[in-house]
Structure 1
Amino acid sequence: MKKIFLTLLVATSLATTAQEKKGIFTISGTVDTYYTSNLKDNSLGSIGVLYGGSGVANGFGLGMANTIFSYEKGKAGVVADLAYGPRANAANAYEGAINQLYAYYRASEKITFTLGQFNTFFGYEVISPAGNFNYSVSYLFNAGPFSHTGLKMDYEASEDLSFMLAVTNPHGITAGANPSTNYQLGFQTGYKGQYFNLAYGADGFGFNDVLYLDYSGGFNLTDSFFFGINAAYSNSSDADAGYQGVALYLQNSFSKKFSLGLRPEYYQTTAGKGDASVTAFTLSGNISLTENLNLIPEIRYDSLNDMIISGLSAQNNITGATLATVYSF
């Protein structure tokens, strides 16, 4: 009996040692598709996926295929996050092929350095629909930035308190290289799930003094009800323009398989020639058909008086219905 136990112990030890030598390789990702319809005659524009023009107006559409390859060994690792499709193209400077591509090094239990392209630390919503409750995105999300290319340092002061410092290329650069000596500085502090974000510098669109401020967080008011919030402000004296807005995320879980959420949002652009604003209300259901497949029925109403939604010539409101599927693996 002792020999059997000793043999099993040695075999387990060798397997663990071999795994440590080889490192850990994982693959994950998502695929999403949808049908959307504007519930108004002669509405050609879309409020479906991203306002950057990635959504079809009345019909079936593709979101994106997202595959994440990661490898970690010891204190270091790499992540290659590849994304293809209209949603990825609209949100990515590299035409969707590379969503994220970076290497990281854990200098200690508290400090991690990351170099490469990584998704933004701003905002409440993310590019992949699997990370959002609503399928369509908010105006605040679409205002960007989406991703950054550069160096960042994350410091976990405690389980509740964290800090991040970043130096990156201007987020609007599309060619990969930075043709100037202008950069963007980033900062984040987080406390118990509440995050304050700041970025300042060049935006890649010809302006070098752009300030971005952002707060995102939320609270579990009951065991089933969650209240989230995202508020943001941006301004550039050089551009004489900016934006500000707030979005709320009211979500209730009725069971393990069904949740319902409402996202009211107010968004305003500011400029020397005049301000413009829009309000939007998005009601979304989340239905777990299987452990991996999620169905999202959604109704969205956008209203504006002085701001034209892209593709909706001279219209000041639109109602859209969307049915999306998101598969995660």
Structure 2
Amino acid sequence: MTGISELGEFGLIGRLAARLPAAPAVLLGPGDDAALVAAPDGRVAATTDLLVEGRHFRRDWSGPYDIGRKAAAQNLADVVAMGARPTALLVGLALPPATGTAWVERLYDGLADECAETGAGVAGGDVVAASEVTLAVTALGDLGGAQPLTRSGARPGDVLAYRGRLGFSSAGLDLFRAGADGPAELLDAHRRPRPPYAAGAEARALGATALLDVSDGLLQDAGHIAAASGVRIEIDTARVPVPAVLGPDGLRHVLTGGEDHGFAGTFPPDAPLPPSWTVVGTVAAGTVTQGTGVVVDGRPAGPGGWDHFSS
């Protein structure tokens, strides 16, 4: 097995760059001092995330391809949540020198294939040696002349709806921790999220007043909308579907589980929401000063969701 230390930094970069397909907005890709990415709108939506081995993924649970897709997905979803079209990723990669070349190539295959879901491409990045695998991914996007969909536009009377899966990754994480071998659907959901990328453009067309990527759990992320908009969000659990595959703790996973990277938004009460969007609550005047800023079944919700510094 060829290791990356045998290739050297520039040999590895050249090998990875050769695997990356072209993307429409990437005018100049890897190989120069900087990439060139088209920005027809004149504004660029930009976001960045870090994934650290042992904290955000484990190599004994996830293969390199899934890690690559997960790293791309969580950044692409943030761009989509702003109502923008993803155009490019920049990837900083830290690797132990003993890492096999084939492992890194599969990682980049995952990055490239997830980008292809949105029409984006990997425009460049950097590779360094480190004691553990770390990915620093920056995603760029174009608004196409439209205003961004932010967290601050929710208004009293709006409804709260989500599109995508909730709780699957969280349930899968519990299974991994318990050493269980199934259900495979949940284990796969933790390895690789599947954001419904069409949700951004769809939400805009439906008149969304606020939108975000559900990365830290529905309660916590709905709380971000509530805080930014100066409103109270009331969730009715009777309206929240809980798939049987999530098991006896299904409602907890749905309300507080992160990393599925679906989308939650607020919409005018008369918005013609299709079945792909599930209404789970409403927006009311006033704020909740404790917990998440969200009311669940009439009671303020306590802290919920993922907090990077909580443990």
- Normalised to the residue count of structure 1, the TM-score between the two structures is 0.24
Higher relative contact order (CA 8 A, sep 6+): 2
Structure (1 or 2) with the greater strand fraction: 1
Larger-Rg structure: 1
